[in-house]
Amino acid sequence: MKNKNIARHNATVTRARRESLNGHKGAVLWFTGLSGSGKSTLAHTVEEKLHRMGCLTYVFDGDNVRHGLCGDLGFSHEDRVENIRRISEMVKLFLEAGVIAMAAFISPFRSDRERMRNFLGGDFLEIYCKCSLEVCEKRDVKGLYRRARAGEIKEFTGISSPYEEPDNPDLMFDTGSTPLEECVEKIVGFLIEREIVKSPARAKRFHASP
Amino acid sequence: MKNKNIARHNATVTRARRESLNGHKGAVLWFTGLSGSGKSTLAHTVEEKLHRMGCLTYVFDGDNVRHGLCGDLGFSHEDRVENIRRISEMVKLFLEAGVIAMAAFISPFRSDRERMRNFLGGDFLEIYCKCSLEVCEKRDVKGLYRRARAGEIKEFTGISSPYEEPDNPDLMFDTGSTPLEECVEKIVGFLIEREIVKSPARAKRFHASP
């Protein structure tokens, strides 16, 4: 940390007060898995469900992070580490804001995910989108596997760079065979069980009409 | 932008839907002024007021940004530019999340603030905490002016580096003489006028008890 000349100001609005206002707790749902394993689709579908339950949510993925905050970073080892560091710091601020933050990144290295878990503590929930390389490669929505096989993309996870499976994820789905809706229900059920959100039947939050 | 291999996923939960859920709009209140001009104190006091009105808020300052997301950056010209770039990108994500984001940074250069205004558009509200160098230096809460005068801190705004006053800020206060509560009332009044938040009498949002 380069900056010693910065004083810490006392904020009166704390995470706990924001969570009480929001009617749910902050959390980080970290979706990891191969390209094409359905991380983003799952995160956005969970977000839709939580939003309808009155929760404050945000999804981070390549779209809004790799094009913006981390737009100066490439895919070298050093840049990947810095990418994960910035995402961790940003996600921590969203946690403080009482938001349920979802992050959908391949995040192939166990060490990166462990660093994140250490940094974020119990608020970090690792969700493994387990899907065979065959299925992901067959989907190849973005044509990236074809290009990686052709050698046009270097260090592509699953082809020319390893994916290290989570040892003990909080949740795991075979996203090659499990229906999307079933994965969503399980994730929301898990959040209710962990008392991060209230079950819809018990939620007492009312909203102004638009 | 270094990353061409990233597809854009369609999110169904939009900023507008989040704002409707939250009962207020997202905005960025950017507090600029000399060190000791009261930016952070004002931002945190506005936050307290808005929180009590049921608004989702977050304050960015040296505390949570310079120690975290931008902890690798110093105060060279290059690092200051990158600091502002990252803060802009982060603040934009909070805007997307429908939060009223407040940022308290000296931000001495007009060009940086203009870049921010161009990037964030009408959501960027510049609040100038105008306070004479004499008053700020007399306060010297953190002892920084004394150290800057002694040459221990280089390029210190107001002493050895310029502060470029805003030409046309959205709001301006003489924070050396105006009571804090008066500044807060004016800022909240401005947000109501701009229809970013609802006046307390008209707010219809109810919250679950903790």
> 3-state SS of chain A?
CCCCCCCCCCCCCCHHHHHHHHCCCCEEEEEECCCCCCHHHHHHHHHHHHHHCCCCEEEECHHHHHHHHCCCCCCCHHHHHHHHHHHHHHHHHHHHCCCEEEEECCCCCHHHHHHHHHHHHHHEEEEEEECCHHHHHHHCCCCHHHHHHCCCCCCCECCCECCCCCCCCCEEEECCCCCHHHHHHHHHHHHHHCCCCCCCCCCCCECCCC
Q: Which residue has the higher pLDDT, B16 or B65?
A: B16
- Pick the most confident of A81-95, A181-195, B129-143, B189-203: A181-195
The predicted complex's ipTM stands at 0.88
Task: Classify B36 as helix, strand or coil.
Answer: coil
A9, A141, A208 ranked by CB distance to B40: nearest:
A9
Work out the minimum CA distance from A98 to partner chain B, whole angstroms: 9
Catalytic residue among A20, A37, A107, A132: A107
Domain membership flag for residue A15: no
Comparing CA positions, the residue from B100, B105, B123 lying closest to residue B51 is B100
Q: Are A159 and A124 in contact (CB under 8 A)?
A: no
Question: Would B3 be classed as within a structural domain?
Answer: no
Inter-chain CB proximity B3 and A96 less than 8 Å: no
More confident residue, A180 or B3: A180
A27-32 sheet: strands from edge to edge: A57-60, A100-104, A27-32, A124-130, A171-174
Q: Is B107 a catalytic residue?
A: yes
Q: What is the pLDDT of residue A150?
A: 94
Each residue's pLDDT expressed in tens, for chain A with a length of 210 residues: 444 444 445 789 999 999 999 999 999 999 999 999 999 999 999 999 999 999 999 999 877 888 888 888 887 888 888 888 899 999 999 999 999 999 999 999 999 999 999 999 999 999 999 999 999 999 998 899 999 999 999 889 999 999 999 999 999 999 999 999 999 999 999 999 999 999 876 655 544 443
Give percent of chain B with pLDDT exceeding 90: 75
Asked if A90's CB is within 8 angstroms of B90's CB, the reply is: yes
Q: Distance between CA atoms of A101 and B54, rounded to whole angstroms?
A: 20
Q: Which residues pair with A127 in a beta bridge?
A: A31, A171
Interface A-B, measured as beta-carbon pairs within 8 A, has a size of 176
Count up the domains in chain B and report the number: 1
Structure confidence at residue B210 (pLDDT): 39
* Residue B179 belongs to domain spanning: 24-193
Question: Is this structure's pTM higher than 0.80?
Answer: yes
* pLDDT on residue B9: 56
For residue B206, what are the β-bridge partners? A206
Average of per-residue pLDDT across B77-86: 86
Q: At residue A43, what is the residue type?
A: A
Chain B residue numbers touching A147 (CB-CB < 8 A): 5
pLDDT of residue A8: 45
Kindly tell me if the per-residue pLDDT of B203 is higher than 80.
no
pLDDT at B5 over 50: no
The Cα–Cα gap between A148 and A151 comes to 5
Q: What is the pLDDT of residue A137?
A: 95
**pLDDT at A209 (0 to 100):** 40
Report the distance separating Cα A128 and Cα A32, nearest Å.
5
In a domain, A111, yes or no: yes
Q: Which residue has the higher pLDDT, B85 or B183?
A: B183
Quick check: is A206 in a domain? no
- Mean per-residue pLDDT of chain B: 89
The answer to whether B44 contacts A210, with C-beta atoms less than 8 Å apart, is: no
Residues of chain B with Cβ-Cβ distance to A12 below 8 Å are 44, 47-48
Assigned domain for B147 exists: yes
- B68 pLDDT more than 90: no
Q: How far apart are CA A196 and CA A52, in angstroms?
A: 15
First to last CA, chain B: 44
What's the CA gap between A98 and A27, in Å, rounded? Answer: 8
Range list of H helices, B97-196: 110-120, 133-139, 144-149, 180-193
Condensed to tens digits (0 to 9), the pLDDT of residues A11-25 reads 899 999 999 999 999
Q: Which among B41, B89, B153 has CB closest to A68?
A: B89
Query: For residue B30, what is the domain's CATH number?
Result: 3.40.50.300
- pLDDT on residue B1: 41
Rounded CA-CA distance B14/B16 in Å is 5
Cα dist from A188 to A39, A43, B63, whole Å: 15, 11, 33
Identify whether A81 is part of a domain. yes
Q: Which residues contact B151 (CB under 8 A, 6 or more apart)?
A: none
Helix pair angle (B15-22, B77-96), 10° resolution: 70
Residue A14 falls inside a structural domain: no
The answer to whether residue B56 sits within a structural domain is yes
